[in-house]
Amino acid sequence: MKRFFNHNHHTIRINSKLMVLVELLCITGLCLLLRGSMPGFPQLQYRNRCACDTCLTEEDPWLMQHLDQAVQPFLSANYSLPEDAFNWWKRLQLERRDYSTYRTTVERLFQMFPPSPDLIESRSDRCRTCAVVGNSGNLRGSHYGPLIDFHDVVIRINKGHTKGYEADVGTKTTHRIMYPESAMDLDNSTHLVLFAFKIQDLEWLIKAFSTGFSGRSYAPIKSTIKANKDLVMVTNPAFMRYVHEIWLEKKGGYPSTGFMAVILALQICDEVHVFGYGADDDGNWSHYFEELENKKFKTGLHPGSHEYDIILQLAKQKTLSFYGGY
């Protein structure tokens, strides 16, 4: 009887341990289920905001000091530009008209074009890779074309040619940055990204898609343009000011379109690759698609060397990937 009791007692102890183990497994399983299904569960804070190996939003003290996600890079119908930002912007090319004229022009703008920019939103299951393609002469012979075309977003600047230079610069263009004096026709799938420096630039955009533009500027301007008006985007003057004051520390008259394109990419992309920036081997700021007549050509009002140094610093910190050519 005693031996039976001991055996029975031992069996009960084993059963108790199994029950405890089963309970622990159930609790663990429930916790894992909750982690995956409850939107507010603490584990979610560790998920990447994108599917890249490294997202730009991840902690980088120097980048976080400069990258202000609160600054809207593009104008929209429901955005109101602060008057102090307008007053900064109007000095860029000696705009004489007032804030009221600017607001009226923007209202007309969004009667013709989409009320909000066409942007790919950040998601944890997607990596938005962007190639920003400058026009530097160091692209000649680089054979970067296939690498550039591999990216989801390919941003080209002003009149950067692709025809005849496909091996070095690729063929794909999803966004073309321009201002009226550098405008060119686009295919139906390319975003026209207007960098406006004065009210007349906004008026040009409206008239180039309708009646035709007849105003004058420091350089010839296309009267009409072929492009998809549903893919038009206009940069925010406050964004230009932010790039000049925060990134360039007010050096130079104002940022170049090329440098603003890089900072824009940091705002709208998860992973940024930069091509075609910097002077050529002779120290000239030449273009890959033309022969440079002025051998002392520099960057005018723009602090080209300083902008280039910042890009190199971003590359050194692995915030972006920089391809310097061959």
Asked whether residue 14 falls in the same domain as residue 148, the answer is: no
pLDDT score, position 310: 94
Which H helix or E strand runs over 232? strand 232-234
Structure confidence at residue 118 (pLDDT): 94
Three-state SS at 49: coil
Average pLDDT for runs of 10 along the chain of length 326? 41 41 42 37 43 73 75 96 97 95 98 95 88 94 96 96 96 98 97 98 98 93 97 98 95 92 94 91 78 57 80 92 87
User: pLDDT tens digits, residue range 5-57?
Assistant: 344 444 434 344 344 344 444 434 433 343 343 333 233 233 457 888 877 75
> What pLDDT is attached to residue 22?
42
Structure token digits, residue 81: 């530009």
d(CA 193, CA 202): 12
Catalytic residues: 254, 302
Question: Looking at the structure, do residues 41 and 82 belong to the same domain, yes or no?
Answer: no
Structural domain count of the chain = 2
Q: Are residues 120 and 34 in the same domain?
A: no
Six-digit token string for 313 = 């610093």
Residue 75 belongs to some domain of the structure: yes
- Provide the annotated binding site: 93, 135, 158, 218, 254, 258, 278, 287, 302
Assess whether 20 and 123 both reside in one domain.
Answer: no
Pair 112, 209: CB distance under 8 Å? yes
Same domain? For 269 and 310 the reply is: yes
76 shares its domain with 217: yes
What domain range is 23 assigned to? 2-46
Q: Which residues contribute to the annotated binding site for substrate? A: 93, 135, 158, 218, 254, 258, 278, 287, 302
Shared-domain flag, residues 18 and 90: no
33 and 159 housed in the same domain: no
Quick: pLDDT tens for 243-277.
999 999 999 889 999 999 999 999 999 999 999 99
How far apart (Å, rounded) are the C-alpha atoms in residues 298 and 283? 9
Domain CATH code at residue 144:
3.90.1480.20
Residue 269 Cα to chain centre, angstroms: 5
CA distance to 143, 168, 274, 323, per residue, from 59 (Å): 34, 34, 21, 24
